[in-house]
Amino acid sequence: MRHEDNRVGAQLKIIGYIPAGAIAGELKVVPGTAIKIMTGAPTPKGCQAVIPIEDTKNDDDTVTITQPFNIGDHIRIRGEDIPKNEVIVTAGTVLRPAAISLLAALGFTTAKVFKKPKVAILSTGDELVEPGETVGAGQITNSNAYSIAAAVKEVGGEPILLGIARDNRDSLQQKLREGLKAEVLITSAGVSMGDRDLVCDMLKESGVEQIFWKIDIKPGRPTAFAVNNGKLIFSLPGNPVSTMITFEEFVRPALLKMQGHLNLVKDTVTATLTEAVKKKEGRVRFLRVFVTNSDNGLIATSSGDQNTGILRTMIRANAIAILPADRDRIEAGETVNIQMI
């Protein structure tokens, strides 16, 4: 339409038709005329607005305006999305559907991305059997390898399951040698002070450089970290909850960093604790909580038994409350920092 014809009841002569994929050619809108056009087609010369067909009455030869319009209605201007010389996707951008759509719209067929890290996962312990195997006396099912693998995939890595290393030097040496071929090695269990907790010693014998072992946190105090020719080795505790929480706090940020992410640590927000919690002073405590909204803000309630072998409270939790090291008790009604999980 032309804006001169912007009056309800105006009857205009249809002088042409432009379907999507066609071009206007010599067609031109002049006062008293209209051109029928499909979504996605280029507007013809003289066009000042497009009116949806439902805002008109029309037949083969004429169209009558039933709703007023403004100049520019339903017209997309060439170049309106991305100005000339603007950077469209910066380094560190996660290529979600919107970014993929924009790259495709601008004609890109490839984009340079960070490589997904290959992450070897090794469970250790004479007591372990694989899921589906008969669990005998003194045995437990190896669940850690699969929770770690799922967490690795969730964060963008490629998990490599190495199976179970037994609590002897030969078995550990063989499995660790295989694991050290990957860019990242994650072990679970075998990092405490027991006679058969051999992981840290065996890693040192393999030539890795231990950066730290034991952290003032609960759960997860025995956690260790080492490097080997640019490769990362995380040795996590064996209790299932400890394994998942230390992965979240230490491994997850490292894997994100390796993939070029800029936001490595989940944001913390505050919530009001509904019950008092006793803790050991000098250690940061990670408490599994269920967080809900209230008129007074977020409310955090313990998701249940905080024993590190109790998986059901990890499933019930939707956040981790981070209790500070310099306190031995947090009272009900106090605000605490939480990370949503």
User: How much is the pLDDT for 322?
Assistant: 97
Answer yes or no: do 122 and 99 share one domain: no
247 and 128 in a common domain:
yes
Q: Is 53 helix (H, G, I), strand (E, B) or coil?
A: helix
Look at residue 167 and tell me if it is in a domain: yes
Q: How confident is the model at residue 309 (pLDDT cuts 50, 70, 90)?
A: confident
Pair (242, 146) in one structural domain:
yes
Q: What pLDDT score was predicted for residue 190?
A: 86
Check whether residue 39 and residue 106 sit in a common domain.
Answer: no
Range of the domain at 182: 118-258
Q: Mark whether 125 and 252 lie in a shared domain.
A: yes
**From residue 317, how far is each of 72, 106, 119, 239 by CA, in Å?**
52, 43, 26, 17
In a domain, 92, yes or no: yes
Residue 55 vs residues 32, 65, 68, 69: alpha-carbon distances, Å: 17, 7, 9, 9
- Residue 236: per-residue pLDDT: 96
Q: What's residue 34's pLDDT? A: 97
Instruction: CATH number of the domain at 317, please.
Output: 2.40.340.10
Residues 275 and 309 in one domain: yes
- In the chain, the percentage of residues whose pLDDT exceeds 90 is 90
| HSE of 189, CA atoms in CB hemisphere, 13 A | 24
Q: What is the pLDDT of residue 196?
A: 65
pLDDT tens digit string along 162-189? Answer: 999 999 999 999 999 999 999 999 999 9
What pLDDT digit, counting tens, does each position of 315-338 carry? 999 999 999 999 999 999 999 999
Q: Residue 135 above 70 pLDDT?
A: yes
Question: How many domains is the chain built from?
Answer: 4
> Hey, what long-range contacts does 136-140 have (CB within 8 A, 24 or more apart)?
none
Query: Does 263 fall in a domain?
Result: no
User: Do residues 122 and 109 both lie within one domain?
Assistant: no
For position 272, what pLDDT does the model report? Answer: 97
List, for residues 197-252, the tens digit of each pLDDT value: 789 889 998 899 999 999 999 999 999 999 999 999 999 999 999 999 999 999 99
Domain endpoint, select from 202, 227, 258 = 258
Is 169 in the same domain as 289? no
What is the per-residue pLDDT for 195? 67
Q: Is the pLDDT of residue 115 over 80?
A: yes
Say yes or no to pLDDT of 144 above 90.
Answer: yes
Assess if residue 72 is contained within a domain: no
CATH number for the domain that contains residue 204: 3.40.980.10
**Closest by Cα among 252, 251, 203 to 228:** 203
The answer to whether residues 273 and 214 belong to one domain is: no
pLDDT given at position 79: 86
* Same domain assignment for residues 181 and 285: no
Residue 181 covered by a domain: yes
- CATH number of the domain at 26, please: 2.170.190.11
Specify the pLDDT at position 114. 94
Residue 229 lies in a domain: yes
- Residues 256-268 pLDDT 10s: 999 999 999 999 9
Beta bridge partners of 140: 128
Q: Are 218 and 286 in contact (CB under 8 A)?
A: yes
pLDDT category, 191, cuts 50, 70, 90?
confident
Look at residues 205, 229, 258 and tell me which one is the last residue of a structural domain. 258
- Segment 121-142 shows an average pLDDT of 95
What's the confidence (pLDDT) of residue 209? 95
Q: Are residues 216 and 307 in the same domain?
A: no
- Give the per-residue pLDDT at 320: 97
Is the domain of 277 the same as that of 210? no
